[in-house]
Amino acid sequence: IVAHDLSPADASQIQLERIKGFVTDRGGKDSHTSIVAKSLNIPAVLGLGTATIEVKNDDILIVDGSTGTMIINPDEDTLFDYEDRMSRYEDYRAGLLRESHLPAVTRDDVSFNLMANIELVEEIVAAKDYGASDIGLFRTEFLYLDLKRFPTEDELLCKYKELVELMSPNGVTIRTLDINGDKVNPYLTAIEEANPSLGLRAVRFCLENEDIFITQLKAILRAAAFGNIKLLIPMISCVEEIIQVKQVIGKAIIELEQEDKIFNKDIPLGAMIEIPSAVMMAEQLADHVDFFSIGTNDLIQYTMAIDRRNRRVAHLYQALNPAVLKLIKLTYDAARAKNIDLVMCGEMAGEPINIPVLVGMGLSNFSMNSVSIPAVKKLIRNIDTKHAKQVFEKIMTMTNAKEITDTILDEYSDILPLGTTDKKS
């Protein structure tokens, strides 16, 4: 597919078996469309600017998702070269998969929890094959986008129940609706926003539309009677919001009681930490929740003030920027001080180059696109946490992402997976 733009909803409906790859004029590597492409194992390059003008019907294309390049009508040598690269990559992936069920334990015997981010219930089989222990993030908005209307409580319950039962006895973290931003709801286009990422997105939308929120909360609480569920709230920006959310949960519980429905209200409540204001108030937020989940896709976007879909500013989308690392460290310190659990569920946790840094900082729960789990697990099995801590202390004195990236590449050149050096900035 060569398209001007492809929404996350379009991407989630792609007929996997028929599509070899896609390129778009608009979009960026950390957009939701890109995340969906990764989970579906489809090579994709987004934000090429003029792809739809340059590519003609019947052209032969090479789509290299690992470096973000597209080659139109390659010569024979390039084609052979890429065929060779593809088969080496496939061998490498097959090797990783063979080891994906080994435990995620470092060389010095420290255990890690590697979980999967999924968008569709159908991804569970792949998540288990890739060695995920739990579902650390279930993005619920795709059901709303696919249906093209608001689902009913029973429809939601049916999906969530299927999900928890398939994962049982392991857990599922269900995140409440994160609509708008780049996941614009086609049946809710009443008000166009100039800056959708800064607009009425996620929990802001839910608190404005309490009936829609209560319907989803009731379905989640009912599904929790069938398995191990955690409830996660996206885009929390201040303490009042989480207090308001708890009041709405209280209303959902009263309705369920009045309707005499079976449910479980004793489930952990978490806040996503993906806005710098939430980081700065993390200790106070921790008094109201049972766990934090750091959403680095948005945390980087809002910290660096760049749109995660805009390729023109993609050079500033830096997970290893010292400002981003300091915010993550503050969140980690707050969670520790208040003795609550901490997970990282943004794409940052699935990029091998970031893992030594996060391990060195002290994080131990990572949720990621499930295709990334085997490579991250292999890396963790080769890391020594004491050494990672020393490297972490050294990089925290550095002032830019390039210096940090180069240090990690040098320190870990022998254990970082194939292709990591391509990303050297």
Distances (CA, A) of 403 to 221, 319, 394, 425: 47, 13, 11, 9
Does position 274 interact with ligand PEP (CB under 6 A)? The reply is yes
Distance, in Å, from the CA atom of 190 to the CA atom of 343, rounded to the nearest integer, reads 35
**Smallest separation, CB 293 to Mg ion (Å):** 10
- Can you tell me which residue has the tokens 């070269």? 81
Cite the DSSP H helix spans in 281-346.
282-286, 296-304, 322-337
Q: Which is nearer to Mg ion, 119 or 298 (CB)?
A: 298
Host H or E run for residue 245: helix 239-258
In degrees and rounded to multiples of 5, residue 118 shows phi and psi of: -135, 160
Q: Which is nearer to ligand PEP, 137 or 355 (CB)?
A: 137
Of 32, 101, 158, 288, which residue is the catalytic one?
A: 32
Q: Considering CB distances under 5 to 8 angstroms, the limit depending on partner class, which of ligand PEP, Mg ion, none binds residue 377?
A: none
Do the Cβ atoms of 350 and 368 come closer than 8 Å?
yes
Residues 332-371 that bind ligand PEP (CB under 6 A): 345-346
Q: Which is nearer to Mg ion, 25 or 298 (CB)?
A: 298
Binding mask of the shown chain, residues 296 to 335, with x at each position contacting Mg ion by CB under 5 A: --x-------------------------------------
**Smallest separation, CB 381 to Mg ion (Å):** 29
**Smallest separation, CB 413 to ligand PEP (Å):** 28
Q: Which is nearer to ligand PEP, 222 or 270 (CB)?
A: 270
Residues 6 or more apart whose Cβ sits within 8 Å of residue 389: 360, 362
Q: Considering CB distances under 5 to 8 angstroms, the limit depending on partner class, which of ligand PEP, Mg ion, none binds residue 139?
A: ligand PEP
Distances (CA, A) of 12 to 203, 317, 325, 412: 23, 24, 31, 35
Binding mask of the shown chain, residues 185 to 224, with x at each position contacting ligand PEP by CB under 6 A: ----------------------------------------
- Can you tell me which residue has the tokens 């599509």? 19
Asked if 32 is an active-site residue, the reply is yes
For residue 108, the one-letter residue type is D
- How many other CB atoms sit within 10 Å of the CB of residue 13? 12
Does position 241 interact with ligand PEP (CB under 6 A)? The reply is no
Host H or E run for residue 394: helix 385-395
- Give CA 399 to chain center in angstroms: 26
Q: Considering CB distances under 5 to 8 angstroms, the limit depending on partner class, which of Mg ion, ligand PEP, none binds residue 180?
A: none
Asked if 288 is an active-site residue, the reply is no
Q: Which is nearer to ligand PEP, 61 or 299 (CB)?
A: 299
Q: Which is nearer to ligand PEP, 2 or 342 (CB)?
A: 342
**How many binding residues for ligand PEP (CB under 6 A)?**
10
Of 101, 158, 206, 345, which residue is the catalytic one?
A: 345
**Smallest separation, CB 272 to ligand PEP (Å):** 7
Q: Which is nearer to Mg ion, 25 or 30 (CB)?
A: 30
Binding mask of the shown chain, residues 195 to 214, with x at each position contacting Mg ion by CB under 5 A: --------------------
Does position 178 interact with ligand PEP (CB under 6 A)? The reply is yes
- Can you tell me which residue has the tokens 């069938």? 226
Residue 149: closest CA among 113, 182, 99, 186: 186
**Smallest separation, CB 422 to ligand PEP (Å):** 23
- How many other CB atoms sit within 10 Å of the CB of residue 24? 26
**What single-letter DSSP state applies at residue 27?**
B
Residues 6 or more apart whose Cβ sits within 8 Å of residue 98: none
Binding mask of the shown chain, residues 259 to 298, with x at each position contacting Mg ion by CB under 5 A: ---------------x--------------------x--x
Cite the DSSP H helix spans in 109-189.
124-129, 141-147, 153-167
Residues 277-316 that bind ligand PEP (CB under 6 A): 295-298
Residue 154: closest CA among 222, 254, 225, 207: 222
In degrees and rounded to multiples of 5, residue 363 shows phi and psi of: -65, 150
* Footprint on this chain of Mg ion (rule: CB under 5 A): 274, 295, 298
* Footprint on this chain of ligand PEP (rule: CB under 6 A): 137, 139, 178, 274, 295-298, 345-346
Among all residues, which ones are annotated catalytic? Answer: 32, 345
